[in-house]
Amino acid sequence: MKVTIVGCAGSFPGPDSPASCYLLEAEGFRLLLDFGSGSLGALQRHTGLYDVDAVCLSHLHADHCLDLCAYHVVRTYSPDGPLPKVPVHAPADASRRLNAAYAMPDEPVMERSFDFVRLQPGTRRIGPFEVVAAPMNHPVETYGFRVSHGGRSVAYSADTGESAELVTLARDVDLLLCEASFVEGPGERPDIHLTGRQAAEHAARAGARSLVLTHLVPWYDPERVLADAATGGYRGRTELARSGAVYDLG
Ligand SMILES: [Zn+2]
Ligand SMILES: [Zn+2]
């Protein structure tokens, strides 16, 4: 399984990265985890414009889903289109919300390009991948994912505050993509996002083999997030996410 970080900027695109989007590939199948603002552009550096086979949306905040609207244009109106529908595994109300973002809420326009499949906690098969979805600790319906193939696994926290579910989801994974949106200090708000320290604590509790800190919000110095993570008691390899980084898990 190959994991490519397409976008890792938290909450909005930054100068060096789009918002959340991760490309997972195995056996020629391409699965996107999230499709945040600006990610369709950078995605084309890593795969053909028409080559997305399935999408999982963790939640419906704009920085995780909005480029599905742009990808609808690609699938339906490109000179080679219309192209076959792509399954989109997403929380409740995704089609209505994305139709509203694209055009009108009650016009099923996005359904020309996508088959919306309701996410629920549990395990499903998507192409060659086994995908486990688990509810995270965020103000809206949000799922973290564990994706496995060929004995390798990656977990993605999506957006979350502290979460026992995340520890379970990431148990012994090869790679944990964990959000670290906040920095340590006064004024922290619980149940929305994690700091680097909290991300490292979750990685340690889960026994994750490596940790990539992601959903990095451009108004913070990422080195401060990394320094926070060093205080979390995690001994595995820890690094900052970077748009374009590739992890070949074998
Ligand atoms: Zn977010
Ligand atoms: Zn969010």
What distance in angstroms lies between residue 135's CA and the mean position of ligand 2's atoms? 13
First-residue to last-residue Cα distance in the chain: 6
What distance in angstroms lies between residue 97's CA and the mean position of ligand 2's atoms? 15
Helix (H, G, I), strand (E, B) or coil at 250: coil
What distance in angstroms lies between residue 164's CA and the mean position of ligand 2's atoms? 18
Point out the ligand nearest to the CA of residue 10: 1
What distance in angstroms lies between residue 121's CA and the mean position of ligand 1's atoms? 20
Residue 222: the pLDDT is: 98
Token readout for 52 is 């997305």
Taking a C-beta distance cutoff of 8 angstroms, is the pair 143, 20 a contact? no
1-18: pLDDT as tens digits: 999 999 999 999 999 999
Residue 65: the pLDDT is: 98
Burial 133-155, CB ≥16 within 10 A → b, else e: bbbbbbeebbbbbbbbbeebbbb
User: Which string of DSSP letters, residue by residue, matches 61-90?
Assistant: SHHHHTHHHHHHHHHHHSTT-SPPPEEEEE
- Smallest CA-to-CA distance from 98 within 59, 131, 132 is with 59
**DSSP H or E segment with residue 169:** helix 164-169
CB-hemisphere CA count at 13 Å for 42? 28
What distance in angstroms lies between residue 215's CA and the mean position of ligand 1's atoms? 7
Point out the ligand nearest to the CA of residue 60: 2
Residue 106: the pLDDT is: 84
**Location of structure tokens 């603002």:** 37
How far is the C-alpha of 92 from the C-alpha of 99, rounded, in Å?
13
What distance in angstroms lies between residue 82's CA and the mean position of ligand 1's atoms? 31
Residue 146: the pLDDT is: 99
Residue 245: the pLDDT is: 98
Residue 162: the pLDDT is: 98
What distance in angstroms lies between residue 156's CA and the mean position of ligand 1's atoms? 12
What distance in angstroms lies between residue 27's CA and the mean position of ligand 2's atoms? 31
Q: With helix as H, strand as E and coil as C, how does 83-96 read?
A: CCCEEEEECCCHHH
Residue 35: the pLDDT is: 98
What distance in angstroms lies between residue 214's CA and the mean position of ligand 2's atoms? 13
Residue 188: the pLDDT is: 79
What distance in angstroms lies between residue 138's CA and the mean position of ligand 2's atoms? 7
What distance in angstroms lies between residue 62's CA and the mean position of ligand 1's atoms? 8
What distance in angstroms lies between residue 237's CA and the mean position of ligand 2's atoms? 26
Residue 250: the pLDDT is: 86
What distance in angstroms lies between residue 56's CA and the mean position of ligand 1's atoms? 14
Splitting the chain (250 residues) into consecutive groups of 10 residues, what average pLDDT does each group show?
98 98 98 98 98 98 98 96 97 96 90 98 98 98 98 98 98 98 91 98 98 98 98 98 97
Taking a C-beta distance cutoff of 8 angstroms, is the pair 176, 145 a contact? no
pTM: 0.98
Helices 222-229 and 196-206 meet at what angle, rounded to 10?
40
What distance in angstroms lies between residue 79's CA and the mean position of ligand 1's atoms? 33
**Location of structure tokens 């193939």:** 149
Residue 81: the pLDDT is: 87
